């Protein structure tokens, strides 16, 4: 399986280089040269099988012969063995034809665990084969850092430096990062904002000498292996609800559009999906794009669902590429213009192609709060604000047949807001109940790029 860049100016690469490289050298995103697919009987046979086995089958279709089947199966078994629920991604019914897919049973209680747990094992495996050690540098506004630390702690061939804005993430989010005792993990509290942290990471990636010295790598949501890993739960949940004999729709709380795009990937692989609704908070770039054809950045507003406070949905470039018939020149032009002006117009034919599957819905803060309360009253389920955006979007669209809302975080990750609107304080699952008693370990640094780069070098031993 070869991977091509959406901008067409980089040579095609294999799965290993697409995963370890992240962004293509021409600034585009890697996509498979052709979508692998499963027959209806292969999809039907996924019903009732262990999650890790379906994961190995789906991810294996993308890895091709670059990872031996038995090794991939073992990695998936280990990755999904860290989840506290035996089903890994269980379904809960919330209405006659509506379900929640609980993606939050991983070690850091957010859906990012689903992809990050297998990504860490893929990294260790692929780097080990090349006798190479990489340093992952990431900035986190909350969930990514915790999921990365939980996944990569103890990895043999990877070191992780996680930057977070001091005092601007919740205590639960911070503790998922700072309580890892393994010495391949370094957390840095930066006296600044998330944007400062992100700018420092960006500058570090542009420093060629640092890049080479520490073999810098990133694990943000543009990494294709994350998308492949996220396609898995569309298969497991759809077959549980009657696919491939009947089509299922999805409602996806969206920010960077990785999760919703993974649904599109599952569909291209043969899964009958009727509709995918991209549900956003008031940072509604995706909702506007699907409804009007204008993909235009607004200013970022802080909301109750901070993991979705994004005004430039990185993975959207992949869908655009598909919708313009995989024309790399057109994609390159459109996204160069977007980088410059903050806006691009989706051509009418491409918009029509997107609208065959996608709808966009933006949900305000009051409606998000109301939805948390209503869901508790009507079903007994305590949902987090990100999930609530997805549940709220259901009432804005007319969907026939079963619909699955992806539940992207455990309510206990946002205990203050959930308690304030419902009067019920969500409790942490048993496995992490001692989180607040664990010892924290992190450094404090100023929002100074040079100081942080020196810190990364020293930590990586370069
Ligand atoms: C990252 C995240 C999202 C958004 O997912 P994308 O793939 O970026 O669209 C939604 N909810 C939670 C809790 C997240 O951590």
Give yes or no for residue 111 having a pLDDT over 90. Answer: yes
Per mean pLDDT, which range of 222-226, 287-291, 390-394 is the poorest? 222-226
Mutate to test the pocket of ligand 1, among 29, 108, 111 (most ligand atoms within 8 A of CB): 111
Nearest CA to ligand 1 atom 8: 256
Given this model, what pLDDT does residue 451 score? Answer: 96
Ligand 1, pocket-test mutation among 115, 226, 259, most atoms within 8 A of CB: 259
In this prediction, residue 288 carries a pLDDT of: 97
pLDDT at residue number 2: 97
Q: Is the pLDDT of residue 152 over 90?
A: yes
pLDDT category at 36 given cuts 50, 70, 90 is very high
For residue 389, pLDDT over 80 is answered with yes
pLDDT in tens, 412-438: 999 999 999 999 999 999 989 999 999
SS (H, E, C) the chain: CCEEECCCCCCCECHHHHHHHCCCCCCCCEEECCCCCCCHHHHHCCCCCCHHHHHHHHHHHHHHHHCCHHHHHHHHHHHHHCCCCCCCCCEEEEECCEEEEECCCCCCCECHHHHHHHHHHHHHHHHHHCCCCEEEEEECCCHHHHHHHHHHCCCCCEEEEEEEECCCCCHHHHHHHHCCCCCCEEEEEEECCHHHHHHHHHHHHHCHHHHHHHCEECCCCCCHHHHHHHHHHHHHHHHHCCCCCCCEEEEEECCCCHHHHHHHHHHHCCCCEEEEEEEECCCCHHHHHHHHCEEECCCCCCCCCHHHCCCCCCCHHHHHHHHCCCCHHHHHHHHHHHHHHCEEECCHHHHHHHHCCEEEEECCHHHHHHHHHHHHHHHCCCCCHHHHHHHHHHHHCCCCCCEEEEECECHHHCHHHHHHHHCCCCCCCHHHCCHHHCCCCCEEEECCHHHHHHHHHHHHCC
Annotation says 112 is catalytic: yes
What per-residue confidence (pLDDT) applies to 383?
Answer: 98
Asked if residue 369 has its Cβ within 6 Å of ligand 1, the reply is no
| Ligand 1 atom 1, closest CA | 307
Residue 452: pLDDT band (50, 70, 90) is: very high
- Nearest atom in ligand 1 to the alpha carbon of residue 409 is 13
CA of 256 to the centre of ligand 1 (A): 7
pLDDT in the model for residue 404: 98
Tell me the CA–centroid distance for residue 461 and ligand 1, in Å.
33
What ligand 1 atom has the least distance to the C-alpha of 386? 11
- CA of 255 relative to ligand 1 center, distance in Å: 6
Ligand 1 contacts CB of residue 253 (under 6 A):
yes
Q: For position 198, what pLDDT does the model report?
A: 84
Report the separation in Å between the CA atom of 212 and the middle of ligand 1, taken as the mean of its atom positions: 31
The CB of 222 under 6 Å from ligand 1? The reply is: no
Q: Which is catalytic among the residues 73, 86, 112, 413?
A: 112
Spell out the CATH class of 91-109+224-422.
alpha beta
**Average pLDDT taken over every residue of the chain:** 95
Determine if ligand 1 sits within 6 Å of the CB of residue 257.
yes
Q: Tell me what pLDDT residue 227 has.
A: 97
Q: Which of 220-229, 318-327, 394-403 has the lowest mean pLDDT?
A: 220-229
What local confidence, expressed as pLDDT, does residue 221 receive?
A: 78
143 CB under 6 A from ligand 1? Answer: yes
What pLDDT is recorded for position 193? 83
> What confidence tens digit (pLDDT) does each residue in 223-258 have?
999 999 999 999 999 999 999 999 999 999 999 999
For residue 111, the CA-to-ligand 1 centroid distance in Å is 7
Average pLDDT, integer, range 445-461: 96
Return the pLDDT at 40.
98
- The model's confidence at residue 168, banded by pLDDT at 50, 70 and 90, is confident
Contact 103, 408 (CB under 8 A): yes
Whether ligand 1 lies within 6 angstroms of the CB of 230 is answered as no
Rounded mean pLDDT, 135-144: 87
Higher pLDDT, 302 or 280: 280
Position 137 pLDDT exceeds 90: yes
* Å from CA of 391 to ligand 1 middle: 15
Span from the CA of 427 to the centroid of ligand 1 (angstroms): 21
pLDDT in tens, 64-105: 999 999 999 999 999 999 999 999 999 999 999 999 999 999
Residue minimizing CA distance to atom 2 of ligand 1: 307
* 215: pLDDT strictly greater than 90: yes
Write down the pLDDT at residue 311. 85
Q: Give the pLDDT confidence score for residue 76 in this predicted structure.
A: 98
């Amino acid at each position: 399986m070869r991977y091509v860049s959406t901008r067409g100016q980089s040579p095609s690469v294999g799965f290993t280089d697409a995963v370890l490289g992240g962004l293509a050298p021409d600034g585009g995103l890697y996509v498979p040269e052709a979508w692998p697919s499963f027959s209806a009987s292969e999809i039907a046979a996924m019903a009732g099988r262990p999650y890790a086995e379906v994961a190995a089958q789906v991810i294996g279709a993308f890895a091709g012969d670059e990872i031996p089947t038995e090794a991939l199966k073992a990695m998936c078994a280990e990755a999904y063995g860290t989840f506290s629920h035996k089903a890994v991604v269980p379904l809960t019914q919330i209405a006659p034809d509506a379900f929640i897919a609980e993606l939050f049973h991983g070690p850091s209680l957010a859906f990012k665990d689903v992809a990050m747990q297998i990504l860490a094992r893929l990294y260790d495996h692929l780097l080990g084969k090349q006798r190479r050690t990489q340093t992952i540098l990431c900035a986190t506004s909350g969930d990514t850092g915790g999921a990365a630390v939980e996944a990569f702690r103890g990895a043999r061939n990877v070191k992780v430096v996680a930057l977070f804005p001091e005092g601007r993430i919740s205590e639960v989010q911070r503790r998922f990062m700072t309580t890892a005792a393994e010495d391949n993990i370094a957390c840095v509290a930066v006296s600044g904002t998330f944007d400062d942290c992100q700018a420092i990471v960006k500058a570090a990636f542009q420093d060629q000498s640092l890049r080479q010295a520490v073999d810098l790598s990133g694990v943000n949501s543009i990494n294709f292996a994350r998308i492949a890993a996220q396609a898995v739960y569309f298969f497991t949940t759809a077959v549980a609800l009657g696919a491939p004999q009947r089509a299922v729709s999805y409602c996806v709380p969206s920010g960077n559009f990785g999760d919703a795009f993974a649904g599109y990937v599952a569909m291209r692989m043969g899964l009958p999906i009727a509709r995918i609704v991209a549900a956003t908070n008031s940072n509604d770039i995706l909702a506007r794009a699907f409804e009007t054809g204008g993909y235009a950045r607004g200013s970022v507003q802080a909301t109750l669902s901070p993991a979705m406070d994004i005004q430039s949905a990185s993975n959207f470039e992949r869908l655009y590429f598909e919708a313009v018939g995989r024309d790399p020149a057109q994609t390159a032009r459109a996204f160069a213009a977007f980088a410059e002006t903050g806006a691009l117009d989706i051509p009418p034919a491409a918009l029509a192609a997107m609208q065959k599957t996608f709808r966009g819905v933006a949900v305000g803060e009051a409606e998000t709060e109301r939805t948390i309360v209503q869901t508790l009253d009507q079903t007994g389920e305590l949902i987090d604000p990100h999930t609530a955006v997805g549940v709220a979007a259901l009432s804005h669209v007319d969907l026939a047949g079963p619909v699955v809302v992806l539940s992207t975080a455990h309510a206990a990750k946002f205990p203050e807001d959930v308690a304030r609107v419902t009067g019920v304080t969500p409790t942490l699952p048993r496995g992490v109940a001692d989180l607040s008693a664990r010892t924290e370990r992190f450094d404090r640094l100023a929002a100074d790029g040079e100081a942080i780069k020196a810190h990364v070098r020293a930590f990586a031993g370069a």
